[in-house]
Amino acid sequence: MSANLKQHDYLITEEEYLTGELDSEIKHEYVDGYVYAMAGASKNHDRIAGNVYSEIRSLLKSSPCEPFTSDMKVKIGSKFFYPDVMIVCKDQTQSEYYTESPTIIVEVLSKSSRRMDEKIKRMAYQSITTLQEYVLIEQDFVDVEVCRRSEGWVSNHYFMGEEVTFESIGLTVPVEEIYARVENEDVRTYYEEQQPSQHQRVS
């Protein structure tokens, strides 16, 4: 999801923002005193976020690391965001409503969220000392981008037929699992191309 509509033109404090979120029916993100209403998510967006969360959750059942969905905020300085999926391995924050120490952050991209996720959030997230991996997943076509602290935040791209490794938690996931039930041209083309080879093997 993205925060693309400024709610008002006056500054509010972090305390006012956090208090307001407890009663608000709409989630907002907070950037340097301003709040931004979050746009609704598409079916493909929810499918991707749900697929990633499910894969990670099953792995981490007996681990000190814990996955969160987009209802949990991350705080970076004077900013609060709602990542689509977040993994926290050693929470250093006392609050029940946000963390400041994520290990992995995953954002699902859309046209409305691209600028925020690729520029503003990328810079903010990579300043978090505990963050090891930042993952950007396209929903309108197939592209899983993983940026790792261990590699200087260089972008690595993964596509259908490949596997993605989340090194900081030791999880490898086929890209097909990330895009399960997702409807876009790349996914359709990939499975159409698999059908002839599958038929030949049966023959």
Kindly state whether residue 136 falls inside one of the protein's structural domains: yes
Kindly state whether residue 156 falls inside one of the protein's structural domains: yes
* CA atoms of 158 and 43, how far apart (whole Å): 22
pLDDT the model gives residue 147: 97
Give the bridge partners for 198, in sequence order. Answer: none
Distance of CA 128 to the CA centre of its chain: 15
pLDDT the model gives residue 5: 53
Kindly state whether residue 46 falls inside one of the protein's structural domains: yes
Kindly state whether residue 130 falls inside one of the protein's structural domains: yes
Kindly state whether residue 173 falls inside one of the protein's structural domains: yes
pLDDT averaged per 10 residues, the chain (length 203):
58 95 93 89 95 94 92 96 96 92 95 77 94 96 97 97 96 97 97 73 51
Kindly state whether residue 32 falls inside one of the protein's structural domains: no
pLDDT the model gives residue 188: 97
CATH number, domain containing residue 95: 3.90.1570.10
Instruction: Confirm whether pTM is higher than 0.85.
Output: yes
pLDDT the model gives residue 6: 57
Question: Which residues span the domain enclosing 59?
Answer: 41-202
Dihedral angle sign, alpha carbons of residues 58, 70, 157, 190: positive
Q: What is each CA distance from 83 to 15, 35, 104, 105, 201, in whole angstroms?
A: 20, 16, 10, 6, 42
Kindly state whether residue 109 falls inside one of the protein's structural domains: yes
Radius of gyration of the chain (CA): 18
DSSP state, residue 169: T
pLDDT the model gives residue 116: 73
Domain total of the chain = 1
pLDDT the model gives residue 114: 77
Kindly state whether residue 33 falls inside one of the protein's structural domains: no
